[in-house]
């Protein structure tokens, strides 16, 4: 598993330039997405996930805006924000530890 640390301030300045026929794309944004799970009620209800490490994650808003060429450019520019040390490759042991912590919660 590979984790990438993207800096919010760097993500939020990324946009795809416009052309003669298309305006520039909106800037990307970073948003928090609350994780949910289904409870055991009948009928099941969606509730907030509260186990350690499972509360949610950040997502990047705006990657699907603009033309096909602009969407490709957004992804290219986003990869340019990654700095040395931002990539972390988790070992199988680290993944197992995380999974064990989540399962025991």
- Range list of β-strands (E), the chain: 2-4, 29-34, 36-38, 46-48, 56-61, 87-89
The pLDDT assigned to 12 comes to: 94
pLDDT along the chain (105 residues), means of 10: 83 91 92 88 88 80 91 93 85 84 69
Closest CA to 35 of 14, 67, 4, 57: 57
Has this prediction a pTM greater than 0.85? no
- Range list of β-strands (E), 2-104: 2-4, 29-34, 36-38, 46-48, 56-61, 87-89
The domain ranges of the chain are: 7-82
């Amino acid at each position: 598993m590979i984790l990438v640390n993207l800096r919010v301030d760097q993500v939020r300045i990324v946009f795809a330039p416009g052309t003669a026929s298309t305006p520039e794309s909106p800037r990307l944004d970073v948003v928090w997405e609350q994780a949910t799970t289904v409870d055991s009620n009948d009928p099941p209800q969606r509730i907030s996930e509260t186990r350690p490490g499972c509360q949610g994650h950040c997502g990047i808003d705006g990657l699907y805006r603009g033309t096909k060429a602009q969407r490709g450019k957004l992804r290219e520019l986003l990869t340019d924000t990654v700095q040395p040390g931002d990539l972390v490759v988790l070992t199988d042991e680290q993944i197992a530890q995380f999974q064990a912590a989540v399962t025991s919660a």
